[in-house]
Amino acid sequence: MKTNRILSLLRLSLGCIFLWAFLDKVFGLGFATTPEKSWLQGVSPTAGFLQFGTEGVFAAFFQSLSGNVLVDWFFMLGLLGVGVAFIVGIGIRIASIAGSLMMFLIYLSLFPPENNPLIDEHIIYILVLLFLGQTTSTPFSLGSWWQEQKIVKRYPILR
């Protein structure tokens, strides 16, 4: 029972991390994004990081994506989708794959990591996301209800 509660807190915490990043970039809440650099003000939510934050082997590739509208939309929809899915407990498998892909791309944009030749926090996030994607429904979620729906029974990837 205690393990399920810890898994729920982990799931909710990760959901809040992704959803908060989305909200901060959309509205410029003044944490990582100032109001004048918000997406609502027409500023690309990925341009700053892609242009100035990337480094290492793949930096030139990621810098070439800076300001691309499709990259912005995929990134923002990914943050929103993963955040909401983990908070409500629906679609955790797909969200864990999407979140892991996002973390892997960020990892590559900074490769090699600054403080370790291979592992950094993005790899840990990937492992936790993939682990949670394999767990059954946990308390404080709509996961049990969701798993009983016909479409989910037919397509288990939707769990």
* Cα angle value 85/46/107 (rounded, 5°): 70
| Confidence bin at 80 (pLDDT 50/70/90) | very high
Is the model's pLDDT at 1 over the cut of 80?
no
Cα distance between residue 129 and residue 119, in whole Å:
16
Q: What are phi and psi of 41, to 5 degrees?
A: -85, 5
Residue whose pair of structure tokens reads 């600054």 in the numeric block: 114
The pLDDT of residue 102 is 97
DSSP string of 63-108, one letter each residue? HHTTT-HHHHHHHHHHHHHHHHHHHHTSSHHHHHHHHHHHHHHHHH
The pLDDT of residue 111 is 93
DSSP 51: I
Q: Each residue of 4-29: pLDDT tens digit?
A: 888 999 999 999 999 999 999 999 99
